[in-house]
């Protein structure tokens, strides 16, 4: 009888757990701030979130283009793009930042006669006020004041160096004897004289703003996440039946399955504009200390077999935690050293493509410093 009551109590407890709400609060987070910065200048990114207590960790995928400090201040270093990633507790958000080249424009006469005076006008593409400095390489030929006033003194050439915001640009000035005819410069080959000013090919096209989505890379089974983007989008899931789908309020509804799933955000006004991202639904947010890759049969080679020109062979790899707590999560990102030899899917399934050897790597989604590798041989199915 006591055994019966124990079993009955266990069933009641299990039923209660099943029908408990999956989560108590819906979390959302968005990266705020400009997405463009000039070389040598700064912008500040911040987080808009309903999470009450959190810590932030900012990183730049390309610090040679732009760096970011712990306070979210982005410094533009050179022209290009970088992905800024912020980790907010166990959520990960990404934003693309573009660094634009800082340009100095000089307007001035290239030829002067001895005794002539003119003024050099300098502009730039920064919204900030910047001090301008002038230096003449040959003050005997021409001098220039810090107001840009130039005075031609004698025949010859001098290079005017303009410095704005730490950037320099040179301008070659030639001084001619009084009465000498000023030469006519040949127009650049790519800018013919008869090119009409109103040529429609010269008109800039529309500025395309990339779609940015704010969905964490790692989602815990009891998290409640609201998917957001920088424009109106329609959300899709690659596995709505087993892992997650989006309801009408753009809330992520978890279906009980774990592992990777690809989400897609499509612009409601342009079906050709979309962004995809792989997210991982995990049981626990505890990172393993070590991991190892294994195959249940102890096999680390796969025969290249084709039926009707289609590869029909594969090898399933798995990951387990080593020297870690029992609740450590082993969700990983799989990569291959040579996809032409063997590709690997998000679940660790190795598909051979040609005879050879390849290194497979698994990196913990919780800590990129925790990873494991294994060598896989692709052999001929005929043994030849």
First-to-last CA distance in the chain?
67
Residue 84 confidence (pLDDT): 92
Domain at 104-184, CATH class = mainly beta
Residue 300 confidence (pLDDT): 92
Architecture of domain 290-380: Sandwich (2.60)
For 325-343, letters b (16+ CB in 10 Å) and e give: eeebbbbbbbebeeeebbb
Cα–Cα distance, 94 to 161 (Å, whole number): 40
Question: For tokens 């790899």, what's the residue?
Answer: 317
Cα–Cα distance, 282 to 300 (Å, whole number): 27
Cα–Cα distance, 12 to 223 (Å, whole number): 25
Residue 8 confidence (pLDDT): 45
Architecture of domain 26-100: Sandwich (2.60)
Does the predicted TM-score (pTM) go above 0.75? no
Architecture of domain 217-283: Sandwich (2.60)
| pLDDT by position in tens, the chain (length 384) | 545 544 444 454 444 444 444 455 577 888 999 899 999 889 999 998 888 888 889 999 899 999 999 999 999 999 999 999 898 887 888 888 999 998 999 999 899 999 899 999 999 988 888 889 999 999 999 999 999 999 999 999 999 999 987 788 999 999 999 888 888 765 544 444 444 444 444 455 555 567 888 888 888 888 888 888 888 999 999 999 999 999 988 999 998 888 899 999 999 988 888 888 889 999 888 889 999 999 999 989 998 887 666 667 889 999 999 999 888 999 999 999 999 999 998 889 999 998 999 999 999 988 889 999 999 999 987 755
For the chain, give percent helix, strand, coil, nearest 5: 5, 45, 45
Residue 195 confidence (pLDDT): 44
Helix (H) or strand (E) holding 6: helix 2-19
Give the distance between the most distant pair of CA atoms in the chain: 122
- List, edge to edge, every strand of the sheet that includes 36-38: 36-38, 91-100, 80-88, 56-60
Question: For tokens 């701030």, what's the residue?
Answer: 33
Q: How many Cβ atoms sit within 10 Å of the Cβ of residue 236?
A: 15
Residue 307 confidence (pLDDT): 67
Specify whether the CB–CB gap between 373 and 361 falls below 8 A: yes
- DSSP secondary structure letter of residue 139: T
- Residue 44 in tokens: 């500040």
SS3 for 201? helix
Q: Where in the chain is the domain with CATH 2.60.40.1080?
A: 26-100, 104-184, 290-380
In degrees and rounded to multiples of 5, residue 260 shows phi and psi of: -80, 150
Cα–Cα distance, 257 to 280 (Å, whole number): 10
Residue 229 confidence (pLDDT): 86
């Amino acid at each position: 009888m006591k055994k019966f009551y124990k079993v009955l109590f266990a069933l009641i407890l299990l039923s209660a757990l099943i029908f408990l709400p999956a989560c108590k609060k819906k979390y959302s987070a968005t990266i705020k701030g400009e997405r463009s910065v000039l070389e040598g200048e700064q912008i500040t990114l911040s987080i808009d979130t309903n999470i009450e207590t959190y810590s932030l960790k900012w990183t730049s995928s390309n610090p040679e283009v732009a760096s970011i400090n712990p306070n979210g201040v982005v410094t533009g270093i050179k022209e290009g793009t970088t992905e800024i990633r912020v980790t907010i507790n166990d959520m990960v958000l990404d934003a693309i930042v573009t660094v634009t080249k800082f340009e100095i424009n000089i307007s001035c006469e290239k030829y002067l006669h001895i005794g002539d005076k003119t003024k050099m006008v300098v502009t730039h593409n920064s919204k900030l006020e910047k001090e301008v400095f002038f230096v003449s390489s040959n003050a005997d030929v021409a001098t220039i004041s810090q107001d840009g006033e130039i005075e031609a003194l004698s025949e010859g050439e001098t290079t005017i160096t303009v410095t704005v915001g730490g950037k320099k640009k040179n301008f070659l000035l030639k001084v001619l004897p009084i009465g000498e005819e000023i030469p006519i410069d040949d127009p650049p080959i790519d800018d013919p004289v008869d090119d009409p000013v109103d040529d429609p090919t010269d008109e800039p096209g529309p500025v395309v703003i990339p779609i940015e989505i704010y969905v964490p890379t790692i989602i815990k089974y009891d998290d409640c996440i609201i998917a957001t983007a920088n424009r109106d989008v329609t959300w899709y899931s690659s596995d709505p039946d087993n892992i997650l789908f989006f309801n009408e309020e753009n809330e992520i509804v978890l279906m009980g399955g774990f592992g990777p799933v690809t989400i897609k955000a499509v612009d409601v006004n342009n079906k050709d504009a979309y962004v995809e991202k792989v997210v991982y639904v995990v049981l626990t947010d505890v990172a393993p200390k070590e991991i190892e890759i294994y195959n249940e049969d102890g096999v680390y080679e796969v025969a290249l077999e084709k039926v009707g020109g289609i590869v029909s062979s594969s090898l399933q790899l798995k990951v387990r935690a080593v020297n870690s707590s029992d609740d450590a999560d082993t969700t990983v990102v799989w990569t291959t050293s040579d996809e032409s030899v063997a590709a690997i899917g998000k679940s660790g399934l190795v598909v051979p493509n040609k005879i050879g050897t390849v290194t497979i790597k698994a990196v913990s989604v919780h800590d990129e410093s925790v990873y494991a590798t294994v060598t896989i041989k692709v052999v001929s199915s005929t043994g030849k």
